[in-house]
Structure 1
Amino acid sequence: MIDILLLILKVLPFSLTYSFVSNYFYYFVIFQSKLGKRIFLKKKLYNHEPGHEEALKTFKQALLSETMFSTVFIAIINSNAPILKTHVKVRWGLAAETWWIFLVEASVLFIINEIYHYTVHRNIHRRKVFKFFHVLHHSIRYPIPQSASVAQWTEQILFVIPFVVLLFCDVHIISILLFSVTIKFFSLIQHSGHEFVPGHIREKFPFKYLNTASFHQVHHSVSMRHNYGFVTNILDRIFKTRYHQAE
């Protein structure tokens, strides 16, 4: 137990740094830069503007949630436990790698994550378990980008599982990072409160298969029984849980 606590204390500065950077680097680059505003802040979905106190509360919740998530992952990587050293298969070297391998591996991870996220997200909306896993995230009716990371520790465990499993798979660390950066980007976009895909092309290929900010906002403020998908709404279409709100 003491070894575990010491390991957590060892990696905590790294996980805190990652949590802060992952939330606010994206935020300032995507939503506060001139180019980011032109591309991603085209249409505001609601008039609600969070006050300073509300925004600070969301930031604290997001930082705590992201820190819990990253601490587990980083602690496992840095653990000296023999069973982990023996079975962790993540590749780090670059000598025998090619760039297309990273793209293929990241794409496979993306597909698996879409299935996992939809399944877990839909099931934690069941009445008997909702309050134990997902109620904190839905306490935010009008999300801001940092809301994407707000989650109870029980929900964090559910979504850290795939990353822990990845450590025991023959996959390159760059593929994992590429996958992680992509899903983090879409998560912030979905909770931004702004729709970046113009209405006249939103129902055209390939945009009609994206779970954009307007679709995810429906999930938060109109119907929690619909739009469970993460980056795409393909599984929502297959299982009839897609809800499209007319503009």
Structure 2
Amino acid sequence: MEFLLEMGQDWARHFQRDLFRYLLATTTVSLLVGVVFRRWMDRRRIQKRRAGWKDIRREVSFSMLTMGVFATIGLITGVLYDWGWLQLYRDWGEYPLWWNIVSLPVVILVHDAYFYWTHRTMHHPKLFRHFHRLHHLSRTPTPWAAYSFSVGEAALMAIFSPLITILLPLHVLVWLSFIFVMIFRNAMLHAGCEFHPRGWVDGPLDLLTTTTHHDLHHQKFQGNYGFYFTFWDRLMGTEFKNYKEAFRRAAGGNETDDESGAGAKVAT
């Protein structure tokens, strides 16, 4: 009985941490879009249609379910750490300085590949309904959709954390930094307004995804699967052909309609 109580308390701590990160990221992005820079952001809306309170309630409700799954995976991850399976370390001196510097970019690159291929796989007709359909109920997403997943998708997203710490040695602060980068990036991609400057897609930073890039995915589904970077979509021919045009319209302060993805073709 005492063991179960301790497990329950540990699960609750994991849930509270995930909830804190989720609320911090989604509230921050929502305030930037809807309050602090509202007039500027309203001119940069990607779709004419706006999500309603019903949409936001659904996104928050399923995000709570997702965090329950995350807490369960976190509990398992803690057990694996106790068993010595994870390569998390706390002393910066355990590994060379160069690895402490490059490990965060390496994890982000690996996660981007993991996300692209798992995301694209979930769009297979035999898997979509069971894994990813729920997330796409957010046709016009808001930052609160960041964790709006089914149980299967939530588990698939959560297991990356123990997998990467089994495969690579990571300082605890590097791992935590990755978690915060991931949730803030997620909230921004679902913001519905374009954050990036107008010339973004015409320079070297075009290798990074934008809110428009992911918003088009929510509109048309079959394309723009990347999370941090555009190169997997471009390499595999899954980037929407009208992406840069849609981005320039949004970043230029002109509204696009909710069919801005209409006619977009994806190379197969």
Same-fold call, TM cutoff 0.5? yes
> In structure 2, what is the equivalent of residue 73 of structure 1?
74
2:123 aligns to what SS in structure 1?
A: coil
Write the distance in 2 (CA, Å) between the matches of 1:160 and 1:3: 27
> In structure 2, what is the equivalent of residue 226 of structure 1?
223
**Is residue 190–residue 213 contact of structure 1 (8 Å, CA) maintained in 2?**
yes
**Is residue 145–residue 190 contact of structure 2 (8 Å, CA) maintained in 1?**
yes
- TM-aligned CA distance change 1:4 to 1:162, over 3 Å: farther
> In structure 2, what is the equivalent of residue 180 of structure 1?
179
- TM-aligned CA distance change 1:4 to 1:212, over 3 Å: farther
TM-score computed with the length of structure 1 as normaliser: 0.85
| Alignment match of 1:121 (pick from 119, 122, 143) | 119
The answer to whether the aligner puts 1:37 opposite 2:37 as a matched pair is yes
> In structure 1, what is the equivalent of residue 141 of structure 2?
143
Write the distance in 2 (CA, Å) between the matches of 1:9 and 1:48: 42
Write the distance in 2 (CA, Å) between the matches of 1:233 and 1:75: 33
- Higher normalized contact order (CA 8 Å, seq sep 6+, divided by chain length): 2
Letter in 1 for 2:26: Y
- TM-aligned CA distance change 1:62 to 1:4, over 3 Å: farther
Share of identical aligned residues, percent?
21
Tell me how far 1:29 sits from its aligned partner. Answer: 2.7
Letter in 1 for 2:196: V
> In structure 1, what is the equivalent of residue 55 of structure 2?
54
TM-score computed with the length of structure 2 as normaliser: 0.79
The answer to whether the aligner puts 1:211 opposite 2:209 as a matched pair is yes
Tell me how far 1:31 sits from its aligned partner. Answer: 3.3
The answer to whether the aligner puts 1:102 opposite 2:100 as a matched pair is yes
Alignment RMSD, CA only? 2.8
> In structure 1, what is the equivalent of residue 264 of structure 2?
none
The answer to whether the aligner puts 1:239 opposite 2:240 as a matched pair is no
Structure 2, gaps ≥5 residues long: 247-268
- TM-aligned CA distance change 1:142 to 1:101, over 3 Å: same
> In structure 2, what is the equivalent of residue 27 of structure 1?
26
> In structure 1, what is the equivalent of residue 154 of structure 2?
156
Structure 1 residue ranges, 4+ long, deviating more than 4 angstroms after superposition: 2-8, 33-36, 94-100
User: Which stretch shows the higher mean deviation, 225-234 or 156-165?
Assistant: 156-165
